[in-house]
Structure 1
């Protein structure tokens, strides 16, 4: 009897071990690519997935060029979040290299919003393209001339001499202008054209989505000044002369020198695309209607200067949005308009940039 019990126990143990061996083993979850610090940036938070499909991750860095940015609710003082969307099937160990689109957000926005994630993942679902959303604060994507108590605010240096090489060093990019583009919305549209004009060696294509492009326009100057003073754009606030100096003649030389609309000759040989509505019905959502209609004036000046220079460009002047995208009514900050802008722009990039 005792030996029978022992044999039964032994057989039970064998079957249990066999069932464990036969059971399927869950695959280990693959994390996003780790990042190494460099180029004046210290990685303070390693990449972490923020979407279910594991295409988009965020990471955080500190910069010696913008050590103390103003912050919005949810942001960590002294830290910059970057959101990165990878192409489907990205493999850091494979030989394939991908073009990169740098996407610049507008005023009072964040790089890592759900809207930015949704627009980017939708427009790049079938595109072999890396998209990077860097933090832009209330920067106007410029090296400030009078930052005052905020301390060093060299945003152009941060993005062009730190973020770009950090991405190239840590991801499988095509690290030259044949595989690099830049675009942005509103303040980010200004920044995209501004950066492309300053560094045409870096970018093969530039896009502006409802950008305010003419700093010689008094209304556009008022927008920049409001950004500097408004706590809704970040705290602490700053002064109207912090970014470009005094906005009045004869002290406004930097405003004039940094205005994208008047310096389009630097874009020669680059792909250029401008997207703008007219605000639609001004009695519906009047703030965003008026802002878009005023931004359109700065785009018309830019388009006229591009034409005068003989520089080819795409101009999607879509009016009230009725023929542009369902749900787009030509306002300044509408997701359907921005989704259509990005969808169209990604199509242009895939026809122009080098890619797998």
Structure 2
């Protein structure tokens, strides 16, 4: 066997190292060890439309699909907060499509989805539901703060909190802010809106008031009819501190709930004002509570919101407006783990999955 001198050996090792570096740069060998994830920067947001950005976007995890940012609004300068919230600072959660590039020309439609009460816009389950439903799709999803009891409305008697103009905040401020800072299809053909429970009311409420903004509306177990016991649920949310502190008066949001002073309740009841949804895609989802002896509070709650969807469906039919109503009863045929109760993640995931498929057939997208 022929032995090499140390000088020759060192020279050959150095040459191999040099070749490895060159091939590594060319992608032939690849990295010597797994490279750490190269973090990207989420989009930067500028102030505007009455909103001040007080917290720039930050990714919620290493997947870099969903970020949150915080704004202050002159329309809701303070609000009843849930634990961990800062009154006057509104967190907004945004999920981007894979491959989103703020420097590219590609524009995406936006799905606004409204949370229930009392809930956080960036609750972990909201992120999971959104990311699963939109995997691989060219769609931006925005979940704004609606407060623990905001009811997606401009309040009649906000009291010491000051203005509680949630509708103005979302429709006149947040939507144009999103369009100005993200690559969106900034038109009716590029927007849909949906919501769960309180948010289901909010989605119909917003679409009825501003059909020029949205192409599709969806209610997931929404509180659509204020001429039922839903009125008591709204009042309860105003009075109970679990929906945020400080609690507010029973007439804060929609005025007096007692006839003959309940005119605002009647004007804002979504099930009775579906006429303006003509031309929009409309979808509703609800169970019947399944076995009402199991989790009776959530079972009965879902049973009653289903009745509000039936009223909305009857009024849509009377107006000749087509709609989809996924009336899945005990949930057994709708989704694994869904038993037809209110606020079940498995049910809401199936609702969202179905709704996203519908809107992607209607919205303008890449």
Aligned to 2:3: none
Aligned with 1:43 (options 53, 74, 90):
53
Moved over 4 A (4+): 17-28
Aligned pairs (5 A) from 1:72-111 = 72-111=82-121
Counterpart of 1:171 (choices 161, 182, 192) is 182
SS in 2 for 1:318: strand
Mapped partners of 1:49, 1:20: distance in 2:
35
The structure 1 residue matched to 2:212, chosen from 201, 208, 221, is: 201
Q: Shift in Å at residue 76 of structure 1?
A: 1.5
Cα–Cα, structure 1 residues 343 and 21, in superposed 2: closer, same or farther, change >3 Å? Answer: same
TM-score, normalised to structure 1, is: 0.93
The residue that corresponds to 1:271 in the other structure is 281
For residue 77 of structure 1, report the CA deviation from its aligned partner. 2.0
CA separation in 1, counterparts of 2:302 and 2:61? Answer: 31
Aligned partners of 1:32 and 1:263: how far apart in 2?
39
CA 1:266 to 1:26, structure 2 compared with 1: closer, same or farther past 3 Å? same
**Structure 1 residue 140 and structure 2 residue 154: aligned?**
no
2:201 pairs with 186, 190, 201, which one?
190
Q: Are 2:364 and 1:354 equivalent residues in the alignment?
A: yes
1:124 aligns with 134
CA RMSD of aligned residues (A): 2.0
Answering whether residue 64 of structure 2 is matched by residue 66 of structure 1, we say no
Q: 2:311 maps to which residue?
A: 301
Q: Deviations over 1:119-154 (max 9, x none)?
A: 000000021100000000111100001000111100
In the alignment, which residue of structure 1 is the partner of 2:28? none
Instruction: Name the residue aligned to 1:237.
Output: 247
2:231 to 212, 221, 226: 221
1:137-196 CA-to-partner distances (Å, cap 9, x unmatched) read: 111100001000111100000000011001000000001110100000000000000000
How far has the Cα of 1:29 moved from its partner? 2.3
Q: Matched residues in 1 for 2:37 and 2:345: separation?
A: 37
**Equivalenced residues, count:** 346
Measure the CA separation in 2 of the matches of 1:100 and 1:45: 21
CA–CA distance in structure 2, aligned partners of residues 27 and 115 of structure 1: 25
Structure 1: distance between partners of 2:36 and 2:118: 43
Q: Counterparts in 2 of 1:19-34, with a 5 A limit?
A: 28-34=38-44
Residues 276-314 of structure 1, C-alpha deviations (whole Å, 9 max, x = no match): 000000111111000000111111100000000000000
Displacement of 1:69 in angstroms is 1.2
Q: 1:153 maps to what in 2?
A: 164
Task: List alignment gaps of at least 5 residues for structure 2.
Answer: 1-6, 25-30
Deviation at residue 53 of structure 1 after TM alignment: 1.4
CA deviation string 1:51-83 (max 9, x = no partner): 221110000000000000111011122100000
Aligned residue for 1:325? 335
Cα displacement string for residues 220-239 of structure 1 (whole angstroms, at most 9, x for unaligned residues) = 11000001011000011101
Structure 1 match to 2:272: 262
Secondary structure in structure 2 of the residue aligned to 1:61: strand
Shift of 1:331: 0.4
